A = this chain, B = another copy of it.
Amino acid sequence: MKRLLPALALSAGLACTLPASAQFQKAEDAIKYRQAAYRVMAEHFGRLGAMANGRVPFDAKLAQENMAIVGALHTLPFSAFEPGTDKGAPNRARPEVWKEAAKFKAARDKLDGEMAKLSDAVKGGKLDAIKTAFGATGGACKGCHDDFRAKDYSAN
């Protein structure tokens, strides 16, 4: 073991703010990544919502295209809330993300479940079912925002 220790210490030192197991090299990278993933997802979720809520005509193919992007993206931000990523760039994650990790995980699981139902509804192509599932998914988004997203951005 003795010989391993200097190597471990070196590798820990190189990681700066994040543990060596982290997928991101800097906290700033993780914060900007999750914000970016949310932004792209929100754009396509919004386009689906415009159809679900009758603001634009329903187009089953377009709904499926938007849902495919939302489906590919919605789990990504959660990989970027690693410990140590509360600071590093202005962001709105509340300390509860890490202090109440089990509750945050439950909010994520809730979203995953509603997203799966929404995906099925979009595949089914029935606007009424999509409307219901979209509302429930939006509720899961909002529930997590209410508990884990601050009103204002952090200073750094």
Q: What is the size, in residues, of chain A's interface with B at 8 Å between Cβ atoms? A: 17
Does A43 lie within 8 Å of B39, measured CB to CB?
no
User: Complex formed: what's the CA distance from A36 to B41 in Å?
Assistant: 10
- Copies of this polypeptide in the complex: 2
Q: A33, B29: Cβ atoms under 8 Å? A: no
Point out the residue from B37, B43, B68, B69 that lies within 8 Å of A29, measured CB to CB: B43
CA distance A33 to B23 in the complex (A): 23
From residue A109, how far is it (CB to closest CB) to chain B in Å? Answer: 20
* Contact (Cβ within 8 A) B43 A33: yes
* A80 closest partner in B (C-beta): B43
- Across-interface contacts of A39 in B (CB, < 8 A): 32-33, 36
Secondary structure of the A contact surface, majority rule: helix
Is A35's beta carbon under 8 Å from chain B? yes
Q: For the complex formed, measure the closest distance between the CB of A82 and the CB atoms of chain B, giving whole angstroms.
A: 13
A15 interfacial by beta-carbon distance below 8 Å: no
What is the 8 Å Cβ interface bit string for chain A, positions 39-70, against chain B (1 contact, 0 not)? 11001000100000000000000000000110
Residues 64-108 of chain A, each 1 if its beta carbon lies under 8 Å from chain B, else 0: 000011001100100000000000000000000000000000000
Q: Which residue of chain B has the shortest Cβ distance to A32 in the bound complex?
A: B39
Residues of B within 8 A of A33 (CB): 39-40, 43
Q: Cα distance A76–B40 when bound, in Å?
A: 9
Known A-B contacts: A23-B47, A40-B40, A69-B76. Give 4 more (CB < 8 A): A33-B39, A33-B40, A36-B39, A40-B76
